[in-house]
Every structure is written in C-alpha cells, then in structure tokens.
C-alpha cells in the first residue's frame, strides 16, 4: 500500500493480483478457481493451495456473501482514518467459500449481525483509478 500525501493508503496490484483489481475497476469481482481441486481461491496466488497445482483460472463471482465476523472501531485504526469513525471492519465469506477482509458501509453499527447477507459496493477513487470493494446489507428481497 502506498500513502499519497496524507491520503489513505491504496493497494498496489502485483502481477499476480492484477486481474482482481482490473475486474473491480469494471465493477466485477474476479477470483481464482482450481479445476483440479474444485476450489475457489482468494487471495491471488500462483499455485493452488493444498495441491500446488498450477491450474488456477480467473473467474467472475457475484460477490454475494455472509458476514463472517466484524469489529466496530470507535477509534481510528491509523491516522488516515481519523475522520472515519466508527470504522466497520468486516470479514465477508463469499457464497463460493473464500473470505475477504473489507469494510461495511450503509449500515448502522447496531444493526450488524454475524450471518447477515451482504451485497458488494464498488468504491471508485477517480483520482487514482482504484476501485475498492466494500459491503452493505442485502435488501430483504435479496437485491443489492
């Protein structure tokens, strides 16, 4: 992550993670899949975990998931987030299985519940061209 003049740090895509970040810019979520082990893989890597097969393919997923765990940070987690409290830190378990560390948006901290259904929110930074993936509660009818 690279700080930019006191701004929040942003991810620096690597050759291995570039397809994930490029898909986010298009408001798509793309993660790796190993056909030999029939397993979805995240974080991006060069070999499949467990088998070390080099058959990883990039595939789109819906991004829908369930809240696995969360923390409501009442104090800034670092100086760049001083104006963003409470910070709603979360781990989302995608329907495909892997988990992602992220932040929750558009939700009152008192309404957050483990197991709640979540929908992706694509947060574009026009200055850098970076898109971050956040999550918000899914509407009761199942829509985002």
Q: Which domains does the chain have, with CATH numbers?
A: 14-61 (no CATH), 63-138 (2.40.50)
Given pLDDT bands bounded at 50, 70 and 90, which one contains residue 114? very high
pLDDT tens digits, 7-66: 788 889 999 999 999 999 999 999 999 999 999 999 999 999 999 999 999 999 999 999
Q: Comparing C-alpha atoms, which of 86, 76, 68, 57 is closest to residue 135?
A: 68
pLDDT of residue 141: 57
pLDDT of residue 1: 42
| 82: phi then psi, degrees, rounded to nearest 5 | -60, -30
pLDDT of residue 2: 41
Contact 102, 122 (CB under 8 A): no
Query: Does position 5 have pLDDT exceeding 50, yes or no?
Result: no
Q: Please give the mean pLDDT across all residues of the chain.
A: 91
pLDDT of residue 21: 96
* 3-class secondary structure per residue, 72-104: EECCCCCHHHCCCCCEEEEEEEECCCCEEEEEE
């Amino acid at each position: 992550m690279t700080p930019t003049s006191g701004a929040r740090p942003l991810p620096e895509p690597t050759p291995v993670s570039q397809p994930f970040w490029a898909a986010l810019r298009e408001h798509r979520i793309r993660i790796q899949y190993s056909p030999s082990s029939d397993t979805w893989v995240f974080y991006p890597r060069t070999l499949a975990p467990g088998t070390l097969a080099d058959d990883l393919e990039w595939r789109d997923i819906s991004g829908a998931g369930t809240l696995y765990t969360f923390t409501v940070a009442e104090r800034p987690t670092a100086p760049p987030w001083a104006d963003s409290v409470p910070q709603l830190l979360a781990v989302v378990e995608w329907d495909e299985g892997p988990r992602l560390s992220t932040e929750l948006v558009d939700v009152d901290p008192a309404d957050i519940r483990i197991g709640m259904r979540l929908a992706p929110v694509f947060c574009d930074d026009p200055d850098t061209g970076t898109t971050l993936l956040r999550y918000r509660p899914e509407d009761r009818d199942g829509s985002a």
